[in-house]
Amino acid sequence: METIVQTVDEESLHQAAEVIRAGGLVAFPTETVYGLGANALDAAAVAHIFAAKGRPATNPVIVHVADRGDVTQVAAQWPEAAARLAERFWPGPLTVVVPKSAAVPDIVTAAGPTVAIRCPDHAVARALIRAAGVPLAAPSANRSTELSPTRAEHVLKSLNGRIAMILDGGPCSGGIESTVVDVTGDRPRILRPGLITAPMLEAVCGAVDVAGTTPGVARSPGLMAKHYSPQTPVVLAPTAAEAKRLYQHFQHASTRAAVVGFDPRFATRAMPNDPRLYARDLYATLHELDDGRFDCIIVELPPDTPAWAAVRDRLFRAAAKN
């Protein structure tokens, strides 16, 4: 199949909506990363997402709606915490997990009783959902376990020939995937950290739990699911001094190492000392350094604070071996 890349206008949005309605796949920009969209109410269409990405059937996908009111199409219940969080953070990089309605096919939820829903804060994403007239099931638009795409060219690199169309809406402003919060229990539970931090959630809905499988939190190597990874091995350094030591060590061993860190005098890529700006640049930086020039990428870890939790989570996953 030929993958068409289109800039966004009325005509290409119309064409993309036609592809979705016909059961095909369209990659589109959101404020987090590029999504790979299919009609969430059509099991066969969603199956194409899993095939194109090589995604295991056990990993459910997020359903994207254009407006808060549209959750009734896919949610069987809308708990109080969901209402509060959506009121405060939608449209935005927050996904809530709630009981699913009968309209949602099993493949979307990995056969589970809950569905993950998000309303993206991106005009193109919402225009596409509206034009298609159906909610969009959309994981990140990359092959499974690889780096997520924050530009149309990243999508093309990973999925060329496997999907019908890419809507090129320029670089994503958020840069990492949404925060996922399960609100089906007594207390909201963060399943995946993101740009909406634990303190931000707590300000709206009281105490929240954090799922123990988050590598940056649990520190359990066995639970470090490899994900969001470049081809080039990533080595984490807890401090700038350790990054330097590792760099020198690799130099002696004739290993070509790139350094992602905070000190512009030392780093191959100096990163912003602000979690939001760092997140925006993270995947683009790793995509760039993953072009074969280096044998490994040393990353100086940001501090272990709630504001940096999502960035640290993605770095731990990028460095995980399996």
Q: What is the DSSP string of 151-207?
A: SHHHHHHHHTTTSSEEEE----SS-SPPEEEE-SSSS-EEEE--SS-HHHHHHHHS-
Residue 1 vs 111, nearer CB to ligand AMP: 111
> Residue 190 binds which one of ligand AMP, Mg ion, none, with CB within 5 to 8 A depending on kind?
none
Residue 312 vs 317, nearer CB to Mg ion: 317
Binders of ligand AMP in range 103-122 (CB under 6 A): 109, 112, 114-116
In whole angstroms, what is the distance from residue 55 CA to residue 62 CA? 13
Least CB distance to ligand AMP at residue 76 (A): 12
Both tokens of residue 211? 């799922």
Residue 49 vs 284, nearer CB to ligand AMP: 49
Task: Determine the size of the site formed for ligand AMP (CB under 6 A).
Answer: 16
Bridge partners for 85 per DSSP: none
Regarding 229 and contact with ligand AMP (CB under 6 A), the answer is no
Least CB distance to Mg ion at residue 148 (A): 5
Regarding 139 and contact with ligand AMP (CB under 6 A), the answer is yes
Among 71, 136, 180, 259, binds ligand AMP (CB under 6 A): 180
Sequence-distant (≥ 6) Cβ neighbours of residue 33 within 8 angstroms:
140, 141, 148, 149, 150, 172, 174, 175, 176, 177, 283
> Residue 147 binds which one of Mg ion, ligand AMP, none, with CB within 5 to 8 A depending on kind?
none
> Residue 280 binds which one of ligand AMP, Mg ion, none, with CB within 5 to 8 A depending on kind?
none
Binders of Mg ion in range 124-153 (CB under 5 A): 139-140
Regarding 95 and contact with Mg ion (CB under 5 A), the answer is no
For residue 109, give the DSSP letter.
G
Closest to 99 (Cα-Cα) out of 77, 118, 84, 119: 77
Regarding 177 and contact with ligand AMP (CB under 6 A), the answer is yes
Confirm if 90 and 96 have CB atoms less than 8 A apart. no
The footprint of ligand AMP (CB under 6 A) covers: 59-62, 97, 109, 112, 114-116, 139-140, 177, 180, 191-192
The footprint of Mg ion (CB under 5 A) covers: 139-140
